[in-house]
Structure 1
């Protein structure tokens, strides 16, 4: 301690002359100055000029001004003068330059005072620039002076001096105390972390080592850091900026291990993560190590398994077992049409275009097929895919939902197609024309078995309201067992289907099971029943229109182009978008006499309870949030994507300026939407499928799948966390989506998540020589001009056929080495496109099955009128199998006794529903 006191006293003596000059003590005489200078020159004979460039000389420059008065009180200072002789001029220091000099300020001239006899000849008399002291803390010289003062007072009072432990006072090699601001801050932060984690069972460990220092952890060498490098801090440095910032230990460990930099989150366990939305990135590789049985890493399949379990829990909690009991199909509303009567509703083409199918891994020569109208090919025994022909270009298609445990139930799909192959859509005004809505029975599909029976047309609805722009089934509670016994003329209900027409009308149909409808028809017709086709005219159970009782809107908002059913129980709200940008909301359970009236033709008409202007022009698509009844997303012709809170529709909750959107899906598990886009107005290579965060987590748009053509359709499965898309080039892609609750911008190698399902291309008949001869016969000499590509369906099918290329979907092992995947990656954003030829290969609609028993089946259809069904067998997992078995057992326990007697409550519900209807004259 005595040596430390002497060293501290020596440091105080070195700066006393500077302090005397800076505090204005300049009243000495010329003789005193001369004497002081001579003494300084004699004492500095060992060091010419009196300059000391050692460790102690560098440490006295910054804080000397503030310690002058303290040094005067502890030690007598010699008098100073304002002049000194030329022979003893003070030299400038040639040591290390200052890091933060004050620009434009000349250094203050200072004359050192006469040292006491006990001091040595190594003194610092350099010219030190005046540095402004930092506010809010004391300098080292002040601290040393205060320590000396306290020590002197203790000696005078006779109090023994306590020895300071070595670890409490850390000094440099020159004897100065180290700066401890960063160390204190790290200790404080460490204490906070230990306190917050104490409720997770870590309190015992933190209490046993409360004083553990963060700096005691061995640091990694700078050369071993693979990512961002930080400059190593010098513990002996005087740089004031070293105390300004500090980084906790957890962040240092994440950076030393090579984690993604700057935007990445802390490497904490699940229970220690900050619950606030801060857009972190947390890798799933550590959570799902290894490889799955389908050949993909578990880091890709892990989020899919998590979504499967979460979807099951959500459906049990928010789905309904029975809704709209008054809308039971009755045979009185169904009128059977003869062949002559149904002719004007049928599609014009009686035979499909020629096509052939090549399957990856099978060495077989593809046969050329032509299917009759409403015909089907049997399922392939090894790949399970099937195809059927509906008669025209398909623009609307939806699976019928059923309960999770109905494993043995048949799967149905509603399909609408144009009557003619060359028909063009008119959207400027409303119009009505004959149309046919087809209900297809695809038999009992399962994720692990081949279909036992081919697809067939169950029945079709002959309609007069024009083109069907969009249609949706009621999500749950509308399906019942085909064996349910009801009093005649009531029939068991298959589902409730809402359709949006080009006449600006929305109609809801209560559809029965095909077997019940066929049984009723046999009772009415005593003779033979035509089983080839079943065409019916039917009355809708509800008609939705814009306007009110006093003022009929009369189609002034234009066509209804999109609609969606409220996805959560009780499914009583339906939203629709119109040509003029209006979005309307209907309450299907309303009893208000102002919203529910009976028209002169006897039908019940419902008017909306709320309307608002969502876009400047056409509302192309809208979609509900799958977990809430208050949030809605819309996309319009104004190239804007808007998120709405229906409790305050005077302004959107969020707006995104994007390209023209063709379809939007809002996943159940994430706070964002998947958007499919047209190639029009899009930057080259930047259109396809994007994930857009709603604004809650603050993520940037994530580019999922690039395409070179227009993405006409997209479908998302909550069971599989998977998206399928189809485009104008005839290719259908499946994309295994990541966990978008984490920041997807840091996701690497997104191409490993995309796989082609099948691809369609137009190929000429026969060899190239025969094709050239056919062109010469049809168009004359080729040298007269360019060969004209066929512009109509009749011209095209004479020269071309469709060739489908299917990928082996049984496994994804070595998928990146397969020719189909390599071709997909090579032609995603580049390649030739025939824009002057009729796009017969284009795919307009694609839909994933929403039911648990058939969640891996997908339908795709396009301009050719061919609907194909594929099973994504590689997506099957033991988790799905176990969940399906549990749901089947639960379903059997619930419905084992149903159907024994007629449901009397249904008829009562029908009578009560008609009593509150007001007749409109």
Structure 2
């Protein structure tokens, strides 16, 4: 059920089967599809600027709604990496469909990251399996696997149905074997500057490992019988006293890295001098960070277990060079599980345990952020998910309370999720509109019940990094429903001017040579 602002609600309920999607709304462009389990890893596939290519999202979820995983110790088991096709978002209405999926036996996936650029090839390339992108996935058995994802059409016409695993990244050495003492891998970050040859990962014991994907060293690179590579890191350091929950590279200078850990510390690192961090801040338990291109600091999402009343939510924290105090971006009553930033829109979005997806336009923080006025007007809701009780006879026979149970089958039989979507095509008179009033009320007196399954919780939020789909935002959580929304009201004239120029440049590079050869079959990364 998805009532939309400004459109009369017909009250209809929808039941989604696994790997199926709803028809997108003809005016609001939102897309919804069901992946089968709680979403804990999700990422957009990068495409060249102006390519006019279909947009893809990689998603990984748990096998069942009630599956739990211990963060201590390694564990393996079946996992499924799903590649979803959202269509040509820049020219037409999106329609989600499952392109293909990759089966693995390395346990659940905690994080996924695509190579930022250069890995995409035209579908008509001369290679048999033209490449859609390079995807690195962090598994609960401690390994990181890099896959070369083909275009769906190339996979259908190929003689094999197996997606190539290019490299397996492990901590340790050749003498250490396969056992990892670092524990599970929870977070990944791909080097943002070309040729993207470094990949960093954070582990359960607080270790950060950095691999060189182009290394030829016999001590770091071991060829495998299936023609893939096993890589060992060229740099490891103990960043935290507990698990590294998020890691992010600075886009402006690849010498700098930020890590956040379960020891409640946020640390900024210069990779040229790792004997101590540039800055170490201990405030609250952070869950994820976003480092936007023009900023000297990070935007942090936090768990509310250590936060004083009134300070829980989303903060901007300076790296330490300017000495600014933290800027309070948005208050939240529950744990903020995920945060993502858009360099095109200068905006961050965050999803929390209460089921609300909010976005905030960041101010110019080149001046002291304490001088920024009316920060409450900079944030707005994208949608709110509510879990409502109902009887098997339908929503009109409403009961008074939700079932107090963590059993998924009981929750499905006696409740449903209602998504209240904001009209994001325009922000005219926005402070007085109903979604804004609802968001401010939620900030003051949100109710959180922990004695039931949090079906409405949002675990992962991701802005599209692509110019062709700038403004699109995907989100998913405990219910296994992934939704894509377009923040059309934030579109700028600069983006509209850039797109035709980039499309003309792309057509010059690829349009006249549809069969231009890509990188050699054996190369891990493209030659820039």
Same fold, TM exceeding 0.5?
Answer: yes
Count of paired positions: 523
The reply on whether 1:394 has 2:39 as its aligned counterpart is yes
Question: How far 1:628 sits from its partner (Å)?
Answer: 1.3
In the aligned structure 2, how far is the partner of 1:706 from the partner of 1:382?
A: 31
Selected match of 2:126 from 465, 478, 485: 485
Question: How far 1:485 sits from its partner (Å)?
Answer: 2.2
Partner residue, 1:745: 370
Deviates most, 717-726 or 552-561: 552-561
In the aligned structure 2, how far is the partner of 1:720 from the partner of 1:875?
A: 7
Q: Is the 8 A contact 2:510 2:516 kept in 1?
A: no
Closer/same/farther in 2, CA of residues 887 and 768 from structure 1, 3 Å limit? closer
Partner residue, 1:474: 115
Selected match of 2:379 from 754, 763, 766: 754
Q: Secondary structure at the match of 1:890?
A: helix
Partner residue, 1:508: 146
Selected match of 1:583 from 196, 200, 208: 208
Selected match of 2:331 from 706, 714, 719: 706
The reply on whether 1:495 has 2:138 as its aligned counterpart is no
Q: Secondary structure at the match of 1:719?
A: coil
Greater helix proportion: 1
Question: How far 1:790 sits from its partner (Å)?
Answer: 2.4
In the aligned structure 2, how far is the partner of 1:712 from the partner of 1:619?
A: 15
The reply on whether 1:434 has 2:434 as its aligned counterpart is no
Q: Is the 8 A contact 1:381 1:450 kept in 2?
A: no
Partner residue, 1:422: 66
Closer/same/farther in 2, CA of residues 604 and 744 from structure 1, 3 Å limit? same
In the aligned structure 2, how far is the partner of 1:561 from the partner of 1:694?
A: 23
In the aligned structure 2, how far is the partner of 1:440 from the partner of 1:873?
A: 22
In the aligned structure 1, how far is the partner of 2:146 from the partner of 2:459?
A: 24
Closer/same/farther in 2, CA of residues 907 and 880 from structure 1, 3 Å limit? closer
Q: Tell me, which stretches of 5 or more residues in structure 1 are unaligned? A: 1-355, 525-535, 776-786, 914-921
Q: Is the 8 A contact 1:727 1:843 kept in 2?
A: yes
In the aligned structure 2, how far is the partner of 1:586 from the partner of 1:645?
A: 16
Partner residue, 2:255: 630
In the aligned structure 1, how far is the partner of 2:396 from the partner of 2:154?
A: 56
Selected match of 1:877 from 484, 492, 495: 492
Selected match of 1:652 from 277, 281, 291: 277
The reply on whether 1:717 has 2:374 as its aligned counterpart is no
Q: Is the 8 A contact 1:673 1:693 kept in 2?
A: yes
Q: Secondary structure at the match of 1:359?
A: coil
Q: Secondary structure at the match of 1:377?
A: coil
Question: How far 1:551 sits from its partner (Å)?
Answer: 2.9
The reply on whether 1:459 has 2:100 as its aligned counterpart is yes
Question: How far 1:836 sits from its partner (Å)?
Answer: 1.0
Query: 1:492-542 CA distances to partner (integer Å, 9 max, x unpaired)?
Result: 100000011001011100010001111225xx7xxxxxxxxxxx5444101
Deviates most, 876-885 or 462-471: 876-885
Give the TM-score normalised by structure 1. Answer: 0.55
Query: 1:711-745 CA distances to partner (integer Å, 9 max, x unpaired)?
Result: 01111001110011100000000101101111111
Q: Is the 8 A contact 2:40 2:459 kept in 1?
A: yes
In the aligned structure 1, how far is the partner of 2:141 from the partner of 2:412?
A: 33
Query: 1:853-903 CA distances to partner (integer Å, 9 max, x unpaired)?
Result: 111111011111111111111012322111111111111111123333656
Selected match of 2:230 from 605, 629, 635: 605
In the aligned structure 1, how far is the partner of 2:516 from the partner of 2:429?
A: 56
Partner residue, 1:370: 15
Question: How far 1:576 sits from its partner (Å)?
Answer: 0.6
Query: 1:45-75 CA distances to partner (integer Å, 9 max, x unpaired)?
Result: xxxxxxxxxxxxxxxxxxxxxxxxxxxxxxx
Note the 1:776-815 alignment, pairs <5 A.
Answer: 789-815=404-430
In the aligned structure 1, how far is the partner of 2:403 from the partner of 2:117?
A: 51
Q: Secondary structure at the match of 1:821?
A: helix
In the aligned structure 2, how far is the partner of 1:814 from the partner of 1:434?
A: 50
Question: How far 1:553 sits from its partner (Å)?
Answer: 6.2
In the aligned structure 2, how far is the partner of 1:669 from the partner of 1:769?
A: 51
In the aligned structure 2, how far is the partner of 1:908 from the partner of 1:409?
A: 25
Selected match of 1:821 from 415, 433, 436: 436
What is the CA RMSD across the aligned residues, in angstroms? 2.0
Closer/same/farther in 2, CA of residues 736 and 373 from structure 1, 3 Å limit? same
Closer/same/farther in 2, CA of residues 759 and 509 from structure 1, 3 Å limit? same
Question: How far 1:468 sits from its partner (Å)?
Answer: 0.5
Closer/same/farther in 2, CA of residues 367 and 560 from structure 1, 3 Å limit? same
Partner residue, 2:456: 841
Partner residue, 2:469: 854
Q: Secondary structure at the match of 1:550?
A: helix
Q: Is the 8 A contact 1:462 1:537 kept in 2?
A: no
Q: Secondary structure at the match of 1:540?
A: strand
Question: How far 1:415 sits from its partner (Å)?
Answer: 0.2
In the aligned structure 1, how far is the partner of 2:86 from the partner of 2:143?
A: 29
Report 1 or 2 for greater relative contact order, CA contacts < 8 Å, sequence distance ≥ 6.
Answer: 2
Q: Secondary structure at the match of 1:811?
A: coil
Q: Secondary structure at the match of 1:887?
A: helix
The reply on whether 1:413 has 2:57 as its aligned counterpart is yes
Selected match of 2:319 from 691, 694, 698: 694
